[in-house]
Chains A and B, each alone.
Chain A
């Protein structure tokens, strides 16, 4: 069955506002990555976490293996943040399960 549940599936934000994306896991994951798919279709690494939190500019991510979730917070959203965001969780070894994605649209 599905091991990664990502929400919301779509999100609309006005410039300057913020929100959070979330991935829930049905099993214990060893690490999580967050990606953004850009307009060219490339998957761009945003974060890799084995635990705790990381921050990069207006983005912040957290991962709690025990509670089985990860979040990606966006603050002060800009137009260029629009795209589809994916979480991907490592179950162990070389297996990775992706979430279904969150389509973010930032408008003026």
Chain B
């Protein structure tokens, strides 16, 4: 049963465009995350939000920015996409810190930059 919802499933765009991915969780969790899965299938954390505060911000390019209206939503905006941004972006949530709580993932958003 999916409780972390991501839209869109796929997005194709051109270099320089702006894109925005949405994520919503209905689990009542306190923390949400964005991960990037690269071409080698490695998952790397990009951002995490806890109670509308940015907790972790890995060294991602400035064109990426997380946007949260409340603890159930965490969107990801890319201001000016570049070819290397092509990847699958996964949203996740947990009720507390990752160290003691399970992560629940959305289906992912596949971005293709032409």
Contacts and interface: CB of A to CB of B under 8 A. Distances in A.
Contacts of A98: 35, 42-44
Contact of B45 (A50, A95, A100): A95
B114 to A, nearest CB: 22
A93 B43 contact: no
Contacts of B102: 33, 45, 48
Interface in A55-108: 84, 86, 88, 90, 92-96, 98, 100-101
B99 A90 contact: yes
Contacts of B99: 30-31, 50, 90, 92-93
Q: How large is the interface on B (under 10, 10 to 19, 20 to 34, 35 or more residues)?
A: 20 to 34
Interface string B81-114: 0000000101010000111111111111000000
B48 interface: yes
A52 interface: no
Given A31-B98, A45-B102, A90-B98, A40 B107 contact: yes
Q: How large is the interface on A (under 10, 10 to 19, 20 to 34, 35 or more residues)?
A: 20 to 34
Contacts of B101: 48
Interface in B18-49: 31, 33, 35, 40-45, 48
Given A41-B108, A86-B43, A100-B42, A94 B97 contact: yes
Contacts of A95: 45, 56, 98
Given A43-B105, A93-B56, A100-B40, 20 more contacts: A30-B99, A30-B100, A40-B107, A42-B105, A42-B107, A43-B90, A45-B103, A48-B101, A84-B41, A88-B43, A90-B97, A90-B98, A90-B99, A94-B31, A94-B50, A94-B56, A95-B98, A96-B33, A98-B42, A101-B41
